[in-house]
Amino acid sequence: MAGTSPASESHAHGRISAVILCPLRHEWRAVRRALRLFAKPVRILCTGPGHAALQRIRPELEGHLETDQANSSVPLILAGLAGALTADARVGATYRIDQVISARGESRAPTWTGSLDHLPGASLTTTSRAVRRSEDRRSLNRETGAELVDMESTGFIELADQLGHPWAIVRSISDGVHDRLPEGIDGWINERGGVRTMRILASCAKRPSTLADLFRLQRSSQRALKSLGASLQTALSNTVDQRHR
C-alpha cells in the first residue's frame, strides 16, 4: 500500500504541526533529507502518484493523525514536482499554489496559507497523465488559465476535505513549457511512488533519444527538489516559531 514504511517518517516532539504528502519516492526522500536535521514536529508521507493513491493512503493517514494527536487545525501540505504551462514558470523555482483549477473551470483556493508568503504564487490544474509535449502544455494553459500542472492536487483537496483539515500545496518546477517529457514516462513510476527501472531501460532501448530526455529531466528535477526542500525548511521554521510566541 502506498505510504507504508519506509515511506513514512515523523520529526515529532509532542503534537505535530504539519503533515507533508509527497506523491513520488524521490520527492519524499528530498523532503525528508531537507528536514532531517531540524527535528521539526512534522510527519512526511509518500502517497504514490495520481488521484487514486490519495484515497488508498487515507486509512494510514487517519491513523497517523490519531497517533500524533493532530487536531483539525493541523495543515496537510502536498509537496513535490510539477510541470510548467507558461514560460513565466521557471524550472527549478518553487511556488505556493494559490488556485487549483479543474478541467470544468471550477477553482479552489488553499485553506491554509500560513508561512508560505516567502514563495511566489501560481495557479495549477491536474491531469490524469503526464503532459509530455509543449503544444499540449500551451493548449492546457489556454483551456484552464493555469500556470502549472500536476497529477494529484484535485485528489489531495478531496482528501483534505474528507478529513476536515486545512490544506496547502507547494510545487517546484521540474520541466518547462518548452521541454519534452520522455515517451513512456507514465509507466515509469509504480503505485508506491518508486521507480520501475526495467521499464525505463526498455523505453531507452526502444527509443534511444529517450536517454537524453531522461538525463535532462533528472538534472532539472534535482535542482527543483533542492529548492523545494529549502522552501519547506523556511515555511516550517516560521510555523513552529509562530506557535511558540
Residues 6 or more apart from 131 whose CB is under 8 A from it? 83, 85, 137, 140, 149, 181
- Answer yes or no: is 210 within a domain: yes
- Answer yes or no: is 90 within a domain: yes
The pLDDT profile of the chain, 245 residues, written as one tens digit per residue, is: 444 444 566 554 557 888 999 999 999 999 999 988 665 678 999 999 999 999 999 999 998 888 877 788 899 999 999 999 999 999 999 999 999 999 888 999 999 988 899 999 999 999 999 999 999 999 999 999 999 999 999 999 999 999 999 999 999 999 999 999 988 898 999 999 999 999 999 999 999 888 989 999 999 999 999 999 999 988 887 665 444 44
- Total domain count for the chain? 1
Q: Look at residue 69 in the predicted model and tell me its pLDDT.
A: 77
Q: Look at residue 5 in the predicted model and tell me its pLDDT.
A: 41
Provide the residue range defining the domain that includes 211: 8-243
- Answer yes or no: is 3 within a domain: no
Q: Look at residue 237 in the predicted model and tell me its pLDDT.
A: 79
- Answer yes or no: is 1 within a domain: no
